Amino acid sequence: MQSIDHVNVSDTIETIESEDFFDVLIIGGGPHALGVAARLREPRPAALYTDIEHSRLSFLQRPGSVKLPRQPKRPYQLRAPVPISCNDRARENGESFPKILALDASSSNWLGRWDGFFEQLDISHLRSPMFFHPSPADVDGLEAFAKKLDRENECIESGGVEDVLPTVGQSQRGGDKLRKRATRKKGSTKSSLGAQINERERTSYARPSSRIFREFCAAELIERYHLDSVIHQDTVMELSFGDLHIKTEGLGRGFTVKTKLGRKYGAKFVVMSIGGQECPAIPQCISAYQAAHGQTDSFHQGLGWCHSRCFSYGGTKEFKEAVKSCKLNPDLSIVVIGGGLTSAQIADLAIRKGASKVVLICRGYLKTKHYDFPLSWVTKYSNLEKMSFWQEDCREARLKMVKQARNGGSVNPSTLALLKRRVAEGALTLHTHSSVTQATRDNDTGRWRLQLTYHPPNAKESNIKILENVLFIVASTGGKLDFASVPFLAPLLKPAKQDESGLSSHPKLSEKIQSVQVPGIIGGLPVLSEDLQWGTELPLFVTGAYASLEIGPDAANLSGTRAGSERVVSKLNQLLQDEWFQEYHHQPHVSHRQKATSQVSNVTSALQLLNTSENDKIVQSDSAPHKELCASRRCGFKMGARERRAGNVGGWFDGLEEVVV
């Protein structure tokens, strides 16, 4: 565990414009960020209600403008009511959703980097099944969307979910006996229970096309919850925590977010939804070559090479020119380093574009799995794996379980069959159990010379191979998960500098502690609570790959979007009900609606707090005790989603306590 047990609190009061202040600020624009934003605007999520309960609530809470049609003569002529969006429903019911903002460095649209990868690599189908999606309304929403559009033929079967082909480099008969023995012993309980997948659910394991998935996200998430105006393209440079002065509203403690475009935002809560691609993992041979030649290229591309991250925003011109050169000259080659699905897709892309020779280098076996994690985490008996993971209190043990489950990069069976066909055609050369130990480049010809170390699993000595006439290198080596190295978290994790202008906080506020406690970081991952909050005093929430210690090995994938957003938003809905603006003298609690009517008195109190001396007393607000009003006009239940699913609270009608939200 890294020695980070507290984060810094800013000692100055940041002034934020009221239009730049938000209830929740989301950093990221991928599927996890989209899932959080959609869940914040979904009053009836699928995680809290069954299908019957969901339909019943939809019937009871339908807007008054939607009227059922008259009973026709024949039942099959019933017409469905006019569909409505979440904003229309909120307007009719008097509900109000939190004010949210999402900042993404790569695009001004949701899933911008996602679309870039799929477009540049020409990916036709997702690797994940139909029930992996970020929609909070319905678990089977993607499958129903494909059926509604009559486009089920665009989805393809997974090719036998339970029958996985052997990995490249292993014989079909033999293989690693120790590994097979351990797997057989571990899966003895599950095998005695029967097949992992029910036949009636086999269609749910079909792989949707990229077009269907993108249209589903656009229609059922972005348009339904009106999230187009929520996201902005900007890079977060600094994230600090401290006291905020919101103009015309008052004082409170929250986050200050400074961006590359010079904007300054304030937020009560921040949700961090980024992945490892923010810190690309560069092979040692390339980084050593750049350091030796003093190259100052960016950390994800350089002369004659690039990281796979570049394909998310259009790829590189040099890669496209290298493919054309390899098409004209058969002696030239393109090298792809990596053993995951992205590396295989890049190698196949280069071959389809005309490259006559492509080399794929893997450190070990070219492992074959349907997903990045074993099927036991998502199939019928997935509760066995999840129960053993969540009951483990030691975070180091959880980290070990995550690494064992993911076990590095892998390809799905269909991609493995494609690679074998490319090898048979002679266009692809596959080097397993090999690593690039040295790389040199001739600046005159622009060609690389690579030294490979081939280390067979059962051999005592390694062999050296030399690759000549390499025109371009693609490092598809993923990213590093190092929470402490995220650039915009530096103001929180590093000691703050002294203010040269001599400005200091007000004496009333300087009495507060200048740091808050956090659980720490293990293996580059933050230790989070069950609600994915980093500590109880810091309102910073984390989803995606950095939440693996709490969600599990599928936290970084689409399967972790709904689970992560449900945990985060369930906690945020509770915290958003509390009074956020600071009250330095005891005052009766007021609702948000009544707080808006007393903004003038709040501003007066805030100005007196900033201008009076240490012995001056703050004028108490003249608000009188009153009864709290229901701002949202809806009812909530004091029951968590995980408790309901685990059966810890009894039945649906037992233990329900109706409260006003």
Scanning 121-187, the segments in alpha helix (DSSP H) are 141-148, 177-186
Residue 81 CA to residue 593 CA, distance in Å, equals 33
What's the burial of 649, exposed, middle or buried (CB within 10 Å: 0-12/13-18/19+)?
Answer: middle
Whether the Cβ atoms of residue 159 and residue 444 lie closer than 8 Å to each other: no
- Out of 3.30.70.60, 3.40.1710.10, 1.10.287.990, 3.50.50.60, which CATH number does the structure's domain 280-372+409-475 have? 3.50.50.60
pLDDT-based confidence at residue 315 (cuts at 50, 70, 90) = confident
- How far apart CA 377 and CA 630 sit, in angstroms, is 42
Q: What pLDDT score was predicted for residue 459?
A: 79
At residue 205, the pLDDT reads 86
Give the integer Cα–Cα distance in Å for 352 and 349. Answer: 5
Cα end-to-end span (Å), the chain: 39
Which of 3-12, 188-197, 333-342, 394-403 comes out lowest in average pLDDT? Answer: 188-197
The answer on pLDDT for 415 being more than 90 is: yes
pLDDT at 167: 46
Annotate 113-148 with b (16+ C-beta within 10 A) or e (fewer): bbbbbbebbebebbbbbbbbbbbbbbbebbbebbee
Residue 150 DSSP one-character state:
T
CB-CB contact of 29 with 102 (8 Å): yes
- State the DSSP string of 449-489: EEEEEE--TT-SS-EEEEEEEEEEEEE---B---GGG-GGG
For residue 41, the tally of other CB atoms under 10 A from its CB is 22
**With contact defined as beta carbons under 8 Å apart, do 327 and 354 qualify?**
yes
Torsion angle, alpha carbons of 243, 247, 248, 252, to 10: -10
User: Strands 264-272 and 540-542: what pairing?
Assistant: parallel
Q: Which residues pair with 359 in a beta bridge?
A: 335, 429
**Residue 296, Cβ neighbours under 10 Å: how many?**
6
CA torsion sign, 548 to 554 to 559 to 563? Answer: negative
User: Which three-class secondary structure state does DSSP give residue 542?
Assistant: strand
- Cα separation, 658 vs 661, in Å, equals 9
Residue 438 confidence (pLDDT): 93
Please give the Cα distance from 171 to 605 (Å, whole number).
77
Rounded Cα gap, residues 211 and 38, in angstroms = 20
The predicted pLDDT at position 80 comes to 47
| Domain locations along the chain | 6-59+82-151+211-277+483-575, 154-205, 280-372+409-475, 592-660
**How many CB atoms are closer than 10 A to CB 499?**
12
**Residues 431/278, Cβ–Cβ less than 8 Å:** no
Q: What is the mean pLDDT of residues 596-600?
A: 40
Band the pLDDT of 352: cuts 50, 70, 90.
very high
- Please tell me the predicted confidence (pLDDT) of residue 184: 52
Is the fold of 6-59+82-151+211-277+483-575 the same as that of 280-372+409-475?
Answer: yes
Contact 123, 156 (CB under 8 A): no
Rounded-to-integer distance, Cα 41 and Cα 34, Å: 11
CATH fold for the domain made of 6-59+82-151+211-277+483-575: FAD/NAD(P)-binding domain (3.50.50)
- Those residues whose C-beta lies under 8 Å from the C-beta of residue 67, and which sit 6 or more positions away, are 81
- Cα separations in angstroms, 31 against 52, 180, 364, 473: 27, 35, 30, 29
How far, in Å, CA of 117 to CA of 633, rounded?
43
**pLDDT band per the 50, 70, 90 thresholds, residue 586:** very low
DSSP collapsed to 3 states, 32-48: HHHHHHHHHCCCCCCCC
Residue carrying the six token digits 């914040």: 40
Q: Which residues pair with 273 in a beta bridge?
A: none
Percent helix, strand, coil in the chain, to 5, is: 35, 20, 45
Mean pLDDT of 293-322: 84
pLDDT at 462: 86
Comparing CA positions, the residue from 607, 184, 652, 168 lying closest to residue 410 is: 168
Structure token digits, residue 267: 């937020």
Q: What is the pLDDT of residue 85?
A: 55
Max avg pLDDT among 27-31, 71-75, 622-626, 632-636: 27-31
Report yes or no: 549 and 527 within 8 Å, Cβ to Cβ. yes
CB neighbours of residue 508 within 10 Å: 15
pLDDT at 516: 87
* Residue 380 pLDDT: 78
For the ranges 60-64, 198-202, 350-354, which has the lowest average pLDDT?
60-64
Pick from 293, 307, 659: nearest CA to 473: 307
At 182, phi and psi to the nearest 5? -65, -40
Band (pLDDT 50/70/90 cuts) for residue 74 is low
User: Quick one: how far is CA 111 from the chain centroid?
Assistant: 11
Closest CA to 547 of 40, 538, 557: 557
Q: What distances in angstroms separate CA 11 from CA 493, 499, 508, one per listed residue?
A: 15, 9, 12
**Contact of 509 with 488, CB cutoff 8 Å:** no
- Closest listed residue to residue 458, CA positions, set 365, 376, 533: 365
Of 318, 388, 378, 302, residue with least CA distance to 350: 318
d(CA 238, CA 25): 13
What is the rounded distance in angstroms from the CA atom of residue 537 to the CA atom of residue 535? 6
Rg (C-alpha) for the chain, rounded Å, is 28
Asked if residue 588 has pLDDT above 80, the reply is: no
SS3 of 199, please?
helix
**pLDDT score of 540:** 97
Number of Cβ within a 10 Å radius of residue 42: 22
Residue 609: pLDDT band by 50, 70, 90 thresholds? very low
Pairing, β 333-337 against β 463-475:
parallel
Burial of 231 (0-12, 13-18, 19+ CB in 10 A): buried
- Which of 229, 27, 34, 274 lies closest to 133 in space, CA to CA? 34
Which residues lie across from 244 on neighbouring strands?
14, 252
CA–CA gap between residue 326 and residue 324 (Å, rounded) = 5
Lowest mean pLDDT among 88-97, 125-134, 205-214: 88-97
- Cα–Cα distance for residue pair 366/409, rounded to 1 Å: 8
